[in-house]
């Protein structure tokens, strides 16, 4: 039903009542009133629709804003968690950096303390080394800088330490002011063998030659002596000339340990004194060495003859076999001799019996050859094992002698024990010197045997294939 009809239906009773109890209402007035009411209704409906649309739009906008706010809240929560995590990482990293800095500071402090201790020890050491006065004077200033934690002092000290280390491993000749054996400070040509041995020649008096000896017991540094005979002086002078010329080899005319007397500084030990210093055990060691030498020479001579001329023989035998001149090939093998020749000859002699017989003959001949070539190798290996054991025996007897001296002299001078210790060391060294070459030659001989067997197998296989093609 239309709205106007509804209004009219509602107004008919009203109009009837009004006409019955009051003034009559005309239809035109009612019509005007209805039109006004209808216009007002349309206006209100339109406003209501517009308000509904506006409300819907506002509600949709609020929904969108709520969604945006929810997403923003989620992003803020994620960002907060990331910030918390990064803050934790930064805190852990800061703690790690602080710990590393503390460790480095402790290491630096330890390094400085160690450098100061090394510098103090080096100062004492240089005070005892002849010709090191300038380095010792520089070290005094560096030591004060090191105690003050100055970086330049550390760099200078590292350079000085490197120079001292280089000097300790070289032979040099330098002109220095030195307090000589006369007790006076003089300009000398100082020959330094590292920091172990020293000799000098006075510049103003070249005939004056001195060598450094160890100071007396419980004294530091070195003491000088010029009590040298003509042979010792000539040796020192020759060494000075060689060192100035930069020679790669020179005879050093002093005992680098500084423990020998001046008159014995240039003594040399020959083979006789070496054997005598090793004691009774040196006799069986020499016998072992001679036996091993004889066996090795015999085996070397034998094995050299076994492989002689195998290349040319193989060429001739193969050529004769291809030409079916088998008797000539056998005669070549008989004349040549050796492992390869005998193996080829065995293969040729059984050529008429087939491939299996030739192969068996090759293997059989190699089985006969192997023991002949390995003969005496076991003896050589046994002698190589006995030599260090004899050296060990000499070591034990030398130690027994040393403890015997200690038993008799409870506070013995080290010189009294030197004989036993020397015997122990000499026999050990002699046993190793004998055993090492024997083992080396044993290995070389075994390699030579393996090579001969392989050469014989290879050449026999070649001849076997040639004869098999002709069968």
239, 347: one domain: no
292, 260: one domain: no
- Final residue of a structural domain among 147, 168, 189: 168
- Final residue of a structural domain among 153, 168, 183: 168
Higher per-residue confidence, 218 vs 387 = 387
Give domain status of residue 11, yes or no: no
387/316 Cα distance (integer angstroms) = 47
151, 203: one domain: no
88, 160: one domain: yes
Give domain status of residue 2, yes or no: no
Q: What is the pLDDT of residue 437?
A: 94
Q: How far apart are the first and last CA of the chain?
A: 129
Highest mean pLDDT among 65-79, 103-117, 129-143: 65-79
Give domain status of residue 360, yes or no: yes
pLDDT 10s digits, 294-348: 999 999 998 888 877 677 888 888 888 888 888 888 888 888 878 888 888 888 8
Nearest to 289 by CA among 314, 271, 305, 273: 271
Residues 48-63 have a mean pLDDT of 86
304, 352: one domain: yes
- % of the chain at pLDDT higher than 70: 70
Half-sphere exposure of 332 (CA within 13 A, CB side): 21
The sign one gets for the Cα dihedral 386, 278, 212, 230 is negative
206, 74: one domain: no
Any bridge partners for residue 190, and if so which? 174, 200
How many domains does one find in the chain?
3
Give domain status of residue 194, yes or no: yes
14/36 Cα distance (integer angstroms) = 17
Give domain status of residue 260, yes or no: yes
Q: Which of 35-49, 170-184, 245-259, 268-282 has the lowest mean pLDDT?
A: 245-259
What's the token pair of residue 66? Answer: 């709520």
Give domain status of residue 385, yes or no: yes
Band (18; pLDDT cuts 50, 70, 90): very low
Residues 431-450 have a mean pLDDT of 92
317, 251: one domain: no
295, 423: one domain: yes
193, 209: one domain: yes
57, 195: one domain: no
Write out the DSSP string of 417-430.
HHHHHHHHHHHHHH
- Final residue of a structural domain among 120, 144, 168: 168
Indicate the average pLDDT of the chain.
76
DSSP code, position 174: E
Give domain status of residue 235, yes or no: yes
Residues 97-114 have a mean pLDDT of 78
Band (2; pLDDT cuts 50, 70, 90): very low
Band (414; pLDDT cuts 50, 70, 90): low
pLDDT 10s digits, 262-298: 344 334 456 666 666 677 888 899 999 999 999 999 9
Contact 271, 227 (CB under 8 A): no
Q: What is the pLDDT of residue 442?
A: 94
Q: What angle do CA 243, 245, 247 make, to 5 degrees?
A: 65
215, 162: one domain: no
Highest mean pLDDT among 208-222, 251-265, 348-362: 348-362
Residues 63-92 have a mean pLDDT of 85
Highest mean pLDDT among 3-12, 171-180, 300-309, 379-388: 379-388
Residues 244-262 have a mean pLDDT of 58
Give domain status of residue 289, yes or no: yes
Furthest CA-CA distance within the chain: 176
Q: What is the pLDDT of residue 218?
A: 44
Band (441; pLDDT cuts 50, 70, 90): very high
434, 360: one domain: yes
Domain that holds residue 461: 282-470
């Amino acid at each position: 039903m239309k709205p106007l009809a509804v209004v009219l239906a509602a107004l008919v009773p009203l109009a009837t009542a009004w006409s019955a109890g009051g003034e009559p209402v005309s239809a035109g007035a009612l019509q005007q009133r209805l039109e006004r009411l209808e216009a007002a209704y349309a206006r209100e409906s339109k406003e209501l629709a517009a308000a509904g649309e506006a409300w819907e739009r506002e509600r949709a906008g609020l929904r969108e804003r709520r969604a945006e706010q929810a997403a923003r809240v989620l992003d803020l929560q994620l960002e907060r968690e990331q910030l918390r995590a990064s803050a934790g990482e930064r805190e852990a990293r800061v703690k790690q950096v602080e710990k590393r800095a503390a460790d480095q500071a402790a290491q630096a402090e330890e390094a400085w303390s160690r450098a100061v201790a090394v510098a103090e020890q080096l100062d004492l050491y240089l005070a005892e080394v002849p010709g090191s006065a300038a380095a010792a004077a520089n070290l005094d200033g560096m030591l004060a800088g090191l105690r003050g934690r100055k970086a330049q002092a550390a760099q200078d000290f590292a350079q000085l330490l490197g120079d001292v280390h280089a000097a300790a491993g070289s032979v040099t000749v330098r002109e220095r002011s030195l307090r000589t054996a006369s007790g006076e400070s003089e300009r000398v040509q100082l020959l330094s063998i590292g920091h172990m041995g020293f000799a000098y020649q006075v510049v103003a008096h070249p005939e004056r030659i001195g060598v450094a000896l160890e100071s007396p017991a419980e004294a530091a540094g070195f003491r000088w002596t010029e009590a040298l005979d003509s042979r010792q002086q000539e040796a020192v002078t020759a060494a000075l000339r060689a060192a100035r010329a930069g020679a790669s080899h020179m005879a050093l005319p002093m005992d680098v340990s500084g423990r020998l007397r001046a008159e014995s500084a240039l003594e040399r030990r020959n083979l006789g004194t070496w054997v005598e210093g090793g004691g009774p055990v040196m006799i069986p060691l020499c016998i072992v060495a001679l036996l091993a030498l004889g066996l090795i020479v015999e085996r070397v001579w034998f094995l050299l003859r076994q492989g002689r001329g195998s290349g040319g023989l193989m060429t001739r035998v193969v050529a004769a076999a291809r030409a079916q001149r088998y008797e000539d090939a056998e005669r070549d093998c008989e004349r040549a001799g050796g492992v390869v020749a005998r193996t080829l000859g065995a293969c040729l002699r059984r050529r008429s019996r087939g491939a299996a017989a030739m192969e068996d003959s090759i293997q059989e001949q190699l089985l006969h050859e192997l023991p002949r070539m390995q003969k005496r190798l076991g003896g050589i290996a046994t002698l190589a094992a006995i030599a260090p054991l004899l050296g060990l025996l000499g070591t034990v007897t030398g130690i027994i002698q040393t403890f015997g001296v200690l038993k008799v002299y409870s506070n013995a001078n080290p010189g009294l024990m030197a004989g036993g210790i020397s015997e122990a060391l000499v026999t050990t060294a002699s046993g190793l010197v004998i055993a090492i070459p024997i083992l080396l030659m044993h290995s070389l001989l075994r390699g030579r045997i393996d090579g001969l067997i392989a050469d014989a197998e290879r050449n026999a296989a070649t001849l076997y294939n040639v004869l098999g093609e002709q069968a």
